[in-house]
Amino acid sequence: MNMDYNPPTRSPARRKSSRRLPTAILMIGLVLSLAFVLFRTSVTQTEARLTSDSPVAAPIDPLADFDAQPPSGQETLSGVIRSGETLSALLGEYLSSHEIHRLSEKSRAVFPLTGLCVGQPYQICLDEGNFESFLYEINRDEQLLIRRNNEKFEITRVPIAYAVEVEVVGGTINSNLFSAVAQIGESPELALALADIFAWDIDFILDIREGDSFRAVVEKRYREGEPAGYGQVLAAEFINQGTAYRAVRFKDGERRADYFDPEGKSLRKAFLKAPLEFTRISSGFTMRRFHPITKSWKAHPAIDYAAPTGTPIMSVGDGTIARIGQTKGNGNFIQVRHNNGYETMYLHMSRFAKGMNQGRRVKQGEIIGYVGATGLATGPHLCFRMTKGGEPVNPHKIKPPSAPAVSRENLAAFKAAAAPLLARLDGGETHQAKLASRP
């Protein structure tokens, strides 16, 4: 159809009598042209729907697409918890104070919302400006999910889904474990994990030597295709001064997962080898040392760990705080009483950890204070002492009892699980083996 209308040529004799004819014909042409356009629009839309994967459920209104409104607005606000930021500051724009109070009360049993930590990421989802959900990362493994369902709140802890690959990594010590791990392209998190595994057998401050080496079968996590840290170290070996220490991770029945040697004996012992992580020894255990302040020779039945002020100090074992306070010589100190007549003392602290007081029970590895230079000290360090029955002992010479070994009923399962992991440690390969995605 010709959409452009050109009126026919008229003779001068008929021009006056047919003056209204072109206007009428023009109007008819325009109406027909509009009908044609609408018809083609309808056909085009129908063809598009018929060729799509979705079936046509009802006749198509050719003008429906012109009148359609955009879908309701979904909006996601992302950020990290800032210093001093509370739930009210985050959600006060979308929820009333009464709702926030009710939400806090209900969440207490799942995760206390007063425990939001600075630096942890969160997401707030809105629907047309109305609160829909709040997602907060509790730690590397779990998220807190709060959903609004009509007038109620649903609160759950959900696992973070990761893609996991298992890789064998290894390195040799030139100066310290941190630098050795960095040299093979891994992060300090792996060094800390290895130090935690072998903390009962190796003092990573005093015992490390050039030429020591390590290997580990470790899970590497990926989130949305991006590296997201490590999962579990499934097995590891550390060769320290020619002695090989091996560990395999295993969950023995209802006990928490822990590390055992290839025979099923627990690596966990009554005392850690050191109360600090990765520093240096400034003075060792000796019965004759020249004191730099008193300028006299005297016994030093302790180990001095030089470290920056504020370095966390851990209790080397489970116990009870027998004394806590300050003296002219010791500065700020804590004395912990352990089982079997052992006691440990931590001297010259800059300050105590929150909640430390006489009679308090402390756990192995719990932070009890921070390195300082209070009392008779020439610089920031920890003076660490251990006694048994009141007599000084060298912490590096004692053989503390181990935690229970793998139970007899699960020993066969342990050895079956350990065999392929230990084989990978022996195999020398450093390839990756992909596992299915899992939380």
Determine the Cα–Cα distance for residues 60 and 407; give it in Å rounded to an integer.
71
Determine the Cα–Cα distance for residues 103 and 92; give it in Å rounded to an integer.
12
Residue 275 is predicted with a pLDDT of 92
Residue 51 is predicted with a pLDDT of 36
CA distances (Å), 144 to each of 24, 88, 317, in order? Answer: 72, 16, 33
For residue 314, the Cα-to-chain-centroid distance in whole angstroms is 22
Collapsed DSSP state (helix, strand, coil) of residue 382: strand
Residues in the chain: 439
The domain segmentation of the chain, as residue ranges, is 74-159, 163-269+404-434, 280-392
Determine the Cα–Cα distance for residues 59 and 198; give it in Å rounded to an integer.
72
Residue 200 is predicted with a pLDDT of 93
**Contact indicator for 99, 118 with CB cutoff of 8 Å:** no
322 burial type by CB count under 10 A (0-12 exposed, 13-18 middle, 19+ buried): middle
Collapsed DSSP state (helix, strand, coil) of residue 29: helix
Count CB atoms within 10 A of the CB of residue 282.
Answer: 15
Residue 384, strand partner residues: 303, 346
Q: 169, 181, 183, 179: which is closest to 237 by C-alpha?
A: 169
**Tokens found for residue 425:** 């440690």
Residue 88 is predicted with a pLDDT of 92
Run of H or E residues at 183: helix 177-183
pTM greater than 0.75: no
Residue 60 is predicted with a pLDDT of 38
> Which of the four CATH numbers 1.20.1250.20, 3.10.450.350, 3.20.20.70, 3.40.640.10 does domain 74-159 have?
3.10.450.350
Count CB atoms within 10 A of the CB of residue 423.
Answer: 11
Determine the Cα–Cα distance for residues 202 and 195; give it in Å rounded to an integer.
8
**Contact indicator for 76, 123 with CB cutoff of 8 Å:** yes
Phi/psi at 347 (5° precision): -115, 160
DSSP 238-279: EEETTEEEEEEEE--TTSPPEEE-TTS-BS-BSS-S-SSSS-
Helical segments of 12-62, H only? 21-50
CATH class for the domain made up of 280-392: mainly beta
**Contact indicator for 345, 369 with CB cutoff of 8 Å:** no
Percentage, residues of the chain above pLDDT 70: 75
Residue 37 is predicted with a pLDDT of 43
3-state secondary structure 123-146: EEEEECCEEEEEEEECCCCEEEEE
Q: Do domains 74-159 and 280-392 have the same CATH topology?
A: no
Determine the Cα–Cα distance for residues 147 and 81; give it in Å rounded to an integer.
19
Q: 134, 131, 130: which is closest to 145 by C-alpha?
A: 134
**Contact indicator for 162, 231 with CB cutoff of 8 Å:** yes
Residues 218-267 have pLDDT tens digits of 999 999 889 999 999 999 999 999 999 999 999 999 999 999 999 999 99
Determine the Cα–Cα distance for residues 382 and 275; give it in Å rounded to an integer.
9
Collapsed DSSP state (helix, strand, coil) of residue 354: coil
Determine the Cα–Cα distance for residues 95 and 192; give it in Å rounded to an integer.
42
Q: What is the CA radius of gyration of the chain?
A: 37
Determine the Cα–Cα distance for residues 164 and 216; give it in Å rounded to an integer.
16
Q: 304, 337, 334: which is closest to 318 by C-alpha?
A: 337
Over the chain (439 residues), the average pLDDT of each successive run of 10 is 45 41 49 47 38 38 40 83 92 93 92 92 93 94 92 92 95 92 93 93 88 97 92 97 97 95 95 77 40 45 85 95 96 95 96 97 96 92 93 87 94 97 82 41
Count CB atoms within 10 A of the CB of residue 104.
Answer: 15
Name the fold adopted by 163-269+404-434.
Answer: Nuclear Transport Factor 2; Chain: A, (3.10.450)
